Amino acid sequence: MNYIIKNISKALLLALPIIASSCCSDSNEAIQDEWTATYVYLQRIDYLTPSPKKFHLAHRSDGVKGEIAMPFVAKTQKPCTQDIKVHFSLISKTDKVSLEFFNQKGEPLTDNVLVIKAGQTHSDTIKVVGSKFEQLKDIEEQWETNFQVNLTDIETAQENTFISPVKDLQKLTAKIEKDPHLTLSLGQPANSDVLDRADWSITLDDVAEHPASNLFDEDFGTDVASSNNGFSFVLDLGAETALSGLYTTSWAYQVGTYAPQEIELLVSNDNTNWRSLGRIATGTGIQQVVFEEQPTARYLRYVITKMPSSKRVSLTEFYLFTPQK
């Protein structure tokens, strides 16, 4: 019930500026009769959701993906007596995303005009659609841009008809947000085998407690741990190896009390020049991470970047996966 009341309240609030503007626009000499004037404005189909409308794009190893589609109509606050042609334009702040208008049949518009037919209060629905995200693949970091649909002009034989003087009703604003390039994700890597750990060597940092060999001794009762600050280590695989993911466990893994909350992974072929695969939130006692790009490297650096609330972090076993041949 509260949800229904909230949405009705939003709808009433949206209508109030139209009514208020017709009552208070004494300075607009073109208006013949403010009480009987017809006002034209733009409205998103999902107008009860916040403005600007937000669209999300995910950036993974297979490219940038997401949906950008904003349906909208031209409206009047009461039925019109004559057809009203509504002209609109698109303003975009980027050329890295293609934005186009489409009608209800999915056909591109030949002109930026909507028609409110006599006796109606709204036009047919059209939508602005974003596509062609290929240029965004080269942007590794988070990226965002804005676009806007503006009501520019109206044509009608109906008297006393005007564009709404309320600025927010003359435009539809939207924001596109792209995630940073995601090279890590949670889950078990597909079509992969567990690497043999016999020839591994691990160098722990000064913060870590207990022998590095605890990480691959098949004993879940031994660990490498630290208090207050996360530890890190460099793993030497002995040869350049294709990597598809990792699997780790922590002390008391059933409850995750001592599990890392966030990690960063880096790879190198010479133990000098490192490339970050990114950071990922983990948090559970058993942690599986997929390497989306399946890098080839001899060295892997594992860094705990966020501690659990217990202020004590632990790893009991550490495994890596390689793609099946």
List pLDDT tens digits, range 169-181. 999 999 999 988 8
pLDDT at position 230 is: 96
Domain with CATH 2.60.120.260 in the chain: 184-323
CATH number 3.40.50.720 given to 184-323: no
Residue length of the chain = 325
* C-alpha R_g of the chain: 29
Q: With bands split at pLDDT 50, 70 and 90, how would you rate the model's confidence at 182?
A: confident
Return the H-helix or E-strand segment holding 21. Answer: helix 2-24
What angle (nearest 5°) sits at the alpha carbon of residue 111, between those of residues 82 and 129?
A: 110
When the pLDDT of each residue in the chain is averaged and rounded to a whole number, the result is 90
- Cα–Cα distance measured from residue 261 to residue 250, given in angstroms and rounded to the nearest whole number: 11
Rounded to 5 degrees, φ, ψ at 7 are -70, -40
Is there a contact between 305 and 262 (Cβ–Cβ < 8 Å)? Answer: yes
Q: Would you state the pLDDT for residue 194? A: 97
Report the candidate in 245, 239, 284 with the shortest Cα–Cα distance to residue 262.
Answer: 284
Residue 110: what pLDDT?
A: 93
Q: Is pLDDT above 50 for 11? A: no
> Which SS3 state, helix, strand or coil, does residue 5 take?
helix
Could you give the angle at the alpha carbon of 96 between the alpha carbons of 90 and 98, nearest 5°? 45
* DSSP-based helix, strand, coil % in the chain, nearest 5: 10, 45, 40
Type of residue at 308:
P
Band the pLDDT of 288: cuts 50, 70, 90: very high
Q: What is the pLDDT of residue 32?
A: 58
Average pLDDT of 271-293? 92
Q: From CA 145, how far away is CA 143, in angstroms rounded?
A: 7
Confidence of residue 31 (pLDDT cuts 50, 70, 90): low
Query: What's the whole-model pTM score?
Result: 0.64
User: Residue with structure tokens 């409308």?
Assistant: 53
User: Is residue 12 scored above 90 in pLDDT?
Assistant: no
Q: What is the mean pLDDT of residues 19-28?
A: 36
- What's the fold here for domain 2-178? Immunoglobulin-like (2.60.40)
Other beta carbons less than 10 A from residue 45's beta carbon = 12
C-alpha 145/C-alpha 176 separation (Å) is: 5
pLDDT exceeds 60 at position 27: no
* pLDDT tens-digit map of 142-175: 999 999 999 999 999 999 999 999 999 999 999 9
Q: How far apart are the first and last CA of the chain?
A: 58
Q: What is the mean pLDDT of residues 258-268?
A: 95
Q: How far apart are CA 259 and CA 50, in angstroms?
A: 37
b/e map 312-322, b = 16+ CB within 10 Å: ebbbbbbebbb
Average pLDDT of the residues in 38-50: 97
C-alpha distances in angstroms, 279 versus 10, 186, 208, 271, 306?
40, 11, 20, 19, 10
3-state secondary structure 123-164: CCCEEEEEECCHHHHHCCCCEEEEEEEEEEEEEECCCCEEEC
pLDDT tens track for 58-102: 988 788 999 999 999 999 999 999 999 999 999 999 999 999 999
The per-residue pLDDT for 33 is 73
DSSP string covering 207-241: T-BS-GGGGGSS-TT--EEEESS--EEEEEEEEEE
> Percentage of the chain with pLDDT > 70?
90
pLDDT exceeds 80 at position 8: no
Query: Residue 19: is its pLDDT beyond 60?
Result: no
Query: Where exactly does CATH 2.60.40.1510 map onto the chain?
Result: 2-178
